[in-house]
Amino acid sequence: MIRWFGLTVLLLVTASQVWPHQQKEAITKVLFNPRTNNIEVMHRFLLHDVEHAVKALRGGKANILDSQSDREFFSSYVRQRFSITDQDGRTLSLEPVGHEIEGRFLWVYSEVAMQENLTSLTLRHDALRDIWPEQLNLVNVERNGNVKSATFTGGSTEISISMD
């Protein structure tokens, strides 16, 4: 009986350590911030995934915790693979704000001045999906307390969201 209990505990501990690394997912928040009059974009990625991605993209070593260059490389990569287009097909010019490590996540930030009369947005979020086909990118768009979500999986490349 004790032997089974020990084996069960070992399996649970092992599974809890492996599980987070098997979930290839990122979360992005697009916030219409009336205080700053900006649309703020905040991407959150697991450090483990970021480090493996930088290794794959650069074809060598990566050290996200200690290398500003690796963090800047990844931030630039994310900005190249994320876009917002308005209802008239104009791409909003997101400006980089920076990035930071918080716990086990790397955050990548950008913003653009709020646009008048936005009725819909078309989002594209391909970060890490070129490396891992199973990558899931969730985007939550928050405006005036209302949240709408877009989930990028499989072959999805662009998703439109009504802003009414």
| 86-145 per-position pLDDT tens digit | 999 999 999 999 999 999 999 999 999 998 889 999 999 999 999 999 999 999 999 999
| Total Cβ atoms within 10 A of residue 138 | 16
DSSP, collapsed to helix, strand or coil, labels residue 29 as: strand
Q: Which pTM does this prediction carry?
A: 0.84
In this structure, is the dihedral angle defined by the CA atoms of residues 128, 73, 63 and 103, taken in order, positive or negative? negative
| CATH code that applies to domain 24-162 | 3.30.70
Q: How many residues are recorded in the chain?
A: 164
